[in-house]
Amino acid sequence: LFISATMEALSILSGILLLLLSGAQSHEPVLSEKLIRDISNYSEIALKIIDYSLTGPGANQSYNRLATFVDRYGPRLSGSSNLEDSIDHMLYLLQQDGLDNVHGEEVNVTHWVRGKEIAQLLEPRSAELSILGLGSSVGTPEEGITADAVVMRSFDELEERKDEVKDRIVVFNPTYVSYPVTVAYRVNGASRASKYGAVATLIRTVGPFSIYSPHTGMQVYNSSVPAIPTACITIEDANMLDRLERAGERLTIHLYMEAQTLPMVISRNTVAEIKGSVYPDQVVVVSGHLDSWDVGQGAMDDGGGAFISWQALSIVKGLGLTPKRTLRLVMWTDEEAGGIGSQQYYQRHREDADKYSILFESDEGVFLPYGILFSGSAEAKAILQQIGQLLVSINASEVYDNGGGTDVDWWREEKVPTASLANHNEHYFWYHHSNGDTMDVLDPEEMNLCSAVWAVYAYVLADLDDVLPRG
């Protein structure tokens, strides 16, 4: 999951706009009797999908497939041979599963490498600080950087104390509010401090909880100021440095990072389909991203989303169902640098936007599901709410607003509906982008339920008479 503060601000703005627009509407959309009947007629198929996924041949399949995959390949950073080897294997697995049109679509992706990295507190006492360099960070000179540090609790404090920043390492220790809000320090902290002459930045991990785990993620340089090395530190160390500074101690830190950005390389979005029987050119997309950060196993972010999306096709195929329009799985590449692979997919396919009924993306956890989040017209939402009724038996019938994800949000420009999985992901940011993102975070039965939700929506939407209305 990548999100920048700007993107968040935009989505809040568009949310307000939507609110204003919906307030202006005088009536709720009413579905035709025929459409309600058509959707109700899928209740038997929906139950079959649920049984298949919970207790039938699909039970625990997505979890077991993912475990085998991430245990073998580990984390899959964009630009790495690890990622490309895992994509090769993924294409093989999808072919073995009997899916149609299995192929990789080539795209240009970022190639950042971490290298060795060390942070050492020298004063007031010697201690190693656990760090993870942030994606796109530059490295230090070979001899490293040794400098006194100042601790800033907010950008406001940085502005107030800007005269103290020159030639210093700036430690940001903002209180965690929420990921979309607090991530601004990770994304923009380096350049904000560089503007006043800082030589490096250490950012408190963006998350609500820690057992001494640094969490990496993307950061973005402002090209008008020098690019300085930047890494995240643990919440515990950020708080300790904060206390030491308040106690009047002089803080001296030595930082060494080999990080560098290499030229872009070719990767692939991984595609597989169940070809539609009546409208093969029209598609419903289910998706997650296959790339990950270079720590942990990339199991939760976003192996889980990618593998429940595969599972949705597996279930439909396993039940011998063929929808009228094509059900397409896309496992995106280089999501973590800001949706690099999906943006090129969009640019290449946007001329066919009228053939895309909806794009689903799961990139916010595959924990216990309770519905979906949706972005699109009120009429389309009413259709999804009707389909949600097919999931009452597993308590996953709710449809909320503001669906989508980094990889599918591009399509909103063409008014194509998007959706994501509403799930109990309250602990998502405990593990996100850290060495803690392993299979142990996930649960096979929860993934069975997520797969069933995904399969019911995807199949019914691919099989209805019409693509979803735009808007």
Q: Confirm if 207 and 176 have CB atoms less than 8 A apart.
A: yes
**Nearest-approach distance from CB 291 to Zn ion, in angstroms:** 9
Pick 1 or 149: Cβ nearer Zn ion: 1
Question: At its nearest, how many Å lie between Zn ion and the CB of residue 78?
Answer: 12
Instruction: Kindly indicate which of the ranges 19-27, 78-86, 301-309, 346-354 contains the residues binding Zn ion, using the contact rule CB under 5 A.
Output: 301-309
Amino acid at 243: R
Q: What is the DSSP letter of 175?
A: P
Among 117, 291, 294, 301, binds Zn ion (CB under 5 A): 301
> Residue 98's CB: how many other CB atoms inside 10 A?
13
C-beta nearest to Zn ion: residue: 1
Least gap, CB of 336 to Zn ion (angstroms): 7
* Bridging pattern class, strands 145-152 and 252-257: antiparallel
From CA 317, how far away is CA 287, in angstroms rounded?
Answer: 17
Output the smallest distance, CB 155 to Zn ion, in A: 26
Strand partners, 400: 373
Residues 76-135 that bind Zn ion (CB under 5 A): none
Interatomic CA distance for residues 107 and 335, integer angstroms = 12
Task: Tell me the C-alpha distance between 342 and 412, whole Å.
Answer: 13
Least Å from the CB of residue 277 to Zn ion: 33
The H-or-E segment that residue 453 falls in is helix 444-463
- Residue number, 139 or 298, with CB nearest to Zn ion: 298
Q: Which of 335, 336, 364, 446 is catalytic?
A: 335
Q: Residues binding Zn ion: what is the number (CB under 5 A)?
A: 4
Nearest residue (CB) to Zn ion, 117 versus 363: 363
Q: How far apart are CA 210 and CA 198, in angstroms?
A: 27
Choices 15-23, 228-236, 294-302, 353-361; region in contact with Zn ion by CB under 5 A? 294-302
16-24, 70-78, 293-301, 414-422 -> range binding Zn ion (CB under 5 A): 293-301
Pair type for strands 230-233 and 252-257: unpaired
Q: Which is nearer to Zn ion, 117 or 302 (CB)?
A: 302
Q: Which is nearer to Zn ion, 219 or 326 (CB)?
A: 219
Q: Quick one: 273 or 302, whose CB is closer to Zn ion?
A: 302
* Binding residues among 435-464 for Zn ion as defined by CB under 5 A: none
| Residue 378 near residue 331 (C-beta atoms within 8 A) | no
Cβ(381)–Cβ(470) below 8 Å: no
Least separation in angstroms between CB 433 and Zn ion: 9
Site string for Zn ion, 44-63 (x = CB under 5 A): --------------------
Residues from 1 through 40 that contact Zn ion (CB under 5 A): 1
CA 412 to chain centre: 17
Could you tell me if 202 and 119 are in contact, meaning their C-beta atoms sit under 8 angstroms apart?
yes
Looking at the Cβ atoms of 42 and 307, the one nearer to Zn ion is: 307
Look at residue 188 and give its three-state secondary structure. helix
CA gap 12, 37 in Å, rounded? 36
Site for Zn ion in 351-410 (CB under 5 A): 363
Look up residue 386 and give its two tokens: 């009707």
Binding residue for Zn ion (CB under 5 A) from 84, 273, 302, 407? 302
**Residue 135 beta carbon to Zn ion: minimum distance, rounded to whole angstroms:** 12
Q: Which own/partner pairs from 95-103 qualify as long-range (CB within 8 Å, at least 24 positions apart)?
A: 97/272, 97/310, 97/313, 97/314, 97/317, 98/317, 99/272, 99/273, 99/274, 99/313, 99/317, 99/329, 100/272, 100/273, 100/274, 100/275, 101/271, 101/272, 101/273, 101/275, 102/271, 102/272, 102/273, 103/271
Residue placing its CB nearer to Zn ion in the complex, 273 or 363: 363
Cβ at position 6, least distance to Zn ion in Å: 18
- Find the helix packing angle between 305-318 and 61-73, rounded to 10°: 130
Stated as kind and residue range, the H or E segment containing 257 is strand 252-257
Q: Is 426 a catalytic residue?
A: no
Which among 111-119, 161-169, 256-264, 297-305 is the span making contact with Zn ion, rule CB under 5 A? 297-305
Stretch that binds Zn ion, among 146-154, 194-202, 298-306, 463-471 (CB under 5 A): 298-306
Q: Closer to Zn ion at the Cβ: 292 or 386?
A: 292
Binding mask 137-166 for Zn ion (x = CB under 5 A): ------------------------------
Position of tokens 């392993």? 438
Contact between 331 and Zn ion by CB under 5 A: the answer reads no
Q: How far is the CB of 302 from Zn ion (least distance, A)?
A: 4
**Residues catalogued as catalytic:** 335
The binding site for Zn ion (CB under 5 A) comprises 1, 301-302, 363
